[in-house]
Amino acid sequence: MSDPGIPSDGAASADWLDRVLADDARGHAADYLADDGFTARVMQTLPAPVAPPAWRRPALMALWGVAAVGLAVALPGTAVEVARETFRLFAAKPVTLYEIAAVLAIAGLGSWTTAIFAWKRA
């Protein structure tokens, strides 16, 4: 026993579900629940969405910049050690221009992706 609206051979069109749902929707198109303007009144009483102020994004970027500079100033020995180890890592292996470009592209892509994600959430 199979439903006449559902193809049984598997080779038929995959739009059978859309057709069944559209037929069902046509059957209920005339059904309307009168609410005497209740929905409109509720929508009018809802508060407007709160938008963040325009100064918020530049202020956050400035604060992150100040934090980065403050961290570099507060930990100068650590910054120097990281720079030395990085230089030692790259000096031990000859690096081609293509490898440098690839690393910069990956770092830039990661940075911009993170910044865009953060800006969309802010």
Q: Domain coordinates of the chain in residue numbers?
A: 56-121
Q: What is the pLDDT of residues 31-86, one digit of tens each?
A: 777 888 898 899 999 998 888 899 999 999 999 999 988 888 888 788 788 888 88
User: Residue 71: what pLDDT?
Assistant: 84
How far is residue 111 from each of residues 64, 68, 106, 115, 116, measured CA to CA in Å?
14, 15, 8, 6, 9
pLDDT at 13: 62
* Contact indicator for 112, 104 with CB cutoff of 8 Å: no
Mean pLDDT of 13-29: 82
How confident is the model at residue 4, as a pLDDT? 55
CB atoms within 10 A of CB 7: 14
Average pLDDT over residues 24-31: 80
- Per-residue pLDDT of 102-113, as tens digits, reads 999 999 999 999
Per-residue exposure over 35-62, b if at least 16 CB sit within 10 Å of its own CB, e if not: eeeeeeeeeeeeeeeeeeeeeeeeeeee
Q: How far apart are CA 113 and CA 121, in angstroms?
A: 12
Please report the sign of the dihedral spanned by the C-alpha atoms of residue 66, residue 71, residue 76, residue 79.
Answer: negative
Residue whose structure tokens are 């059957």: 27
